[in-house]
């Protein structure tokens, strides 16, 4: 048995390709969603008896993710990428074609073993999912900056066409989400205290967590602001706050998780892409999602994976 990572697989593809394996298992198979990456090509090139892909998000962004997975599992089952786009992706995603969706389900269904949280064999082992949504009011500064960005985005979109127009809208939405978190998340300047209703309420909630002697996970989409939030919370609450993001080296990630599991720090901030580590958290910490615009959110999917992992570990989730 050989256990390796996707990055090492790409580097050692020639060596691993010399072996005819009894089986090939791809964990966290959403890493294969881009079929053109080196590790995806390397994995498809390996020879073996059976192939298994394990993932909680077989379709993360679009149906092309599913095609890429099956190109590893059962090459050719869904045709070429162009055929898949024509037969399934475009009709389903663009025109909501139910007949095409049913055909796709029938074609891939025999190859999928899906475990759901409400399965009788699983549900008894999961804690109740308790979600509390905290509604907060924008500060005067936040409201003014929000409106200014809305107007600026509308003007830019009106002056652009095609993909440039889409880029202008997406950039504007990102900045609006940042403003809803804190003005400094969008502008990059000024102190954090007293400028955001959201951060003020977060501090109140975390004070309750600490007073109860509990721990909390905080998920954020914006790693750069996460660093500032870490320092602010540590100073305001008088406790150590850990921070893990995509740029954290693996040895340091392991050390941070081990420290949180051991109870050495009560608060742990994680970026959404690194949030899968929440599944290794200690029993029943509180989980806060510090992402999106609170009452204004546009794309929910990226945050569901980390919070679902947190729930499996026994967390309460607060948005």
Domains of the chain as residue ranges with CATH: 6-111 (3.40.50.10810), 131-135+194-318 (3.40.50.300)
Instruction: Look up residue 68 and give its two tokens.
Output: 């890429």
What are the angstrom distances between the C-alpha of 47 and each of 15, 75, 90? 12, 12, 32
Q: What is the pLDDT of residues 152-187, one digit of tens each?
A: 999 999 999 989 999 999 999 999 999 999 999 999
Q: Alpha-carbon dihedral of residues 292, 295, 299, 300, nearest 10 degrees? A: 90
Q: Are 105 and 292 in contact (CB under 8 A)?
A: no
Tell me the pLDDT of the chain averaged across its residues.
86
Alpha-carbon distance 158 to 155, whole Å? 5
What are the angstrom distances between the C-alpha of 181 and each of 139, 189, 221? 11, 14, 10
End-to-end Cα separation, the chain, in angstroms: 42
Alpha-carbon distance 262 to 215, whole Å? 11
The mean-pLDDT minimum among 117-131, 174-188, 208-222, 284-298 falls in 284-298
The CB density around residue 129, as the number of other CB atoms within 10 Å, is 12
What average pLDDT does range 35-57 have in this prediction? 94
- Report percent pLDDT > 90 for the chain: 68
Query: Sheet containing 216-220: which strands, arranged edge to edge?
Result: 131-132, 316-318, 286-290, 216-220, 267-271, 241-244
- Residue ranges in 74-196 assigned as alpha helix (H): 81-84, 90-95, 98-108, 140-158, 162-181, 183-187
In Å, the largest CA–CA distance within the chain is 65
pTM for the model: 0.65
- Residue 41: phi and psi, rounded to 5, are -65, -40
Q: What is the reported pLDDT for 256?
A: 93
Q: Using the 8-state DSSP alphabet, how is residue 120 labeled?
A: T
Q: What is the reported pLDDT for 60?
A: 81
How big is the CA angle at 262 (ends 260 and 268), to the nearest 5 degrees? 10
* Closest to 276 measured CA to CA, from 303, 248, 252: 303
Does residue 285 register a pLDDT over 70? no
Q: What is the reported pLDDT for 316?
A: 45
Does residue 299 register a pLDDT over 50? no
The CB density around residue 256, as the number of other CB atoms within 10 Å, is 20
Does residue 111 register a pLDDT over 80? yes
Does residue 314 register a pLDDT over 90? no
Left if phi > 0, otherwise alpha if psi is -120 to 50, otherwise beta: which for 245? beta
Three-class SS of 2-43: CCCCHHHHHHCHHHHCCCEEEEEEECCHHHHCCCCCHHHHHH
Does residue 295 register a pLDDT over 70? no
Supply the angle between the helices 162-181 and 197-211 in degrees, to the nearest 10: 50
């Amino acid at each position: 048995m050989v256990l390796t990572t996707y990055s090492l697989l790409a580097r050692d593809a020639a060596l691993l390709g010399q072996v005819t394996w009894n089986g090939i298992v791809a964990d966290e198979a959403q890493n294969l969603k881009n079929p053109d990456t080196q590790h995806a090509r390397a994995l498809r090139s390996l020879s073996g008896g059976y192939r298994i892909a394990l993932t909680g998000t077989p379709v993360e962004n679009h149906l092309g993710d599913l095609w890429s997975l099956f190109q590893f599992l059962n090459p050719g089952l869904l045709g070429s990428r162009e055929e898949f786009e024509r037969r399934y992706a475009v009709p389903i995603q663009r025109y909501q074609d139910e007949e095409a969706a049913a055909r796709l389900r029938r074609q891939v269904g025999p190859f999928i073993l899906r475990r759901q949280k409400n399965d009788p064999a699983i549900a008894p082992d999961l804690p109740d999912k308790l979600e509390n949504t905290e509604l907060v009011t924008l500060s005067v500064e936040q409201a003014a900056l929000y409106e200014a960005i809305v107007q600026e985005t509308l003007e830019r979109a009106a002056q652009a066409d095609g993909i440039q127009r889409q880029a202008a809208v997406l950039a504007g939405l990102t900045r609006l989400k940042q403003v809803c978190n804190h003005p400094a998340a969008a502008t990059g300047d000024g102190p954090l205290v007293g400028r955001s209703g959201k951060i003020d309420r977060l501090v109140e909630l975390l004070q309750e967590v600490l007073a109860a002697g509990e721990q909390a996970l905080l998920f954020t989409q914006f790693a750069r602001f996460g660093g500032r939030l870490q320092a602010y919370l540590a100073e305001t609450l008088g406790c150590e706050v850990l921070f893990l993001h995509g740029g954290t080296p693996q040895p340091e990630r392991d050390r941070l998780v081990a420290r949180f599991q051991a109870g050495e720090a009560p608060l742990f901030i994680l970026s959404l892409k690194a949030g899968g580590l929440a599944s290794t958290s200690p029993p029943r910490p509180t989980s806060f999602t510090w992402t999106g615009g609170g009452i204004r959110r546009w794309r929910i999917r990226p945050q569901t994976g980390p919070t679902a992992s947190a729930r499996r570990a026994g967390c309460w989730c607060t948005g």
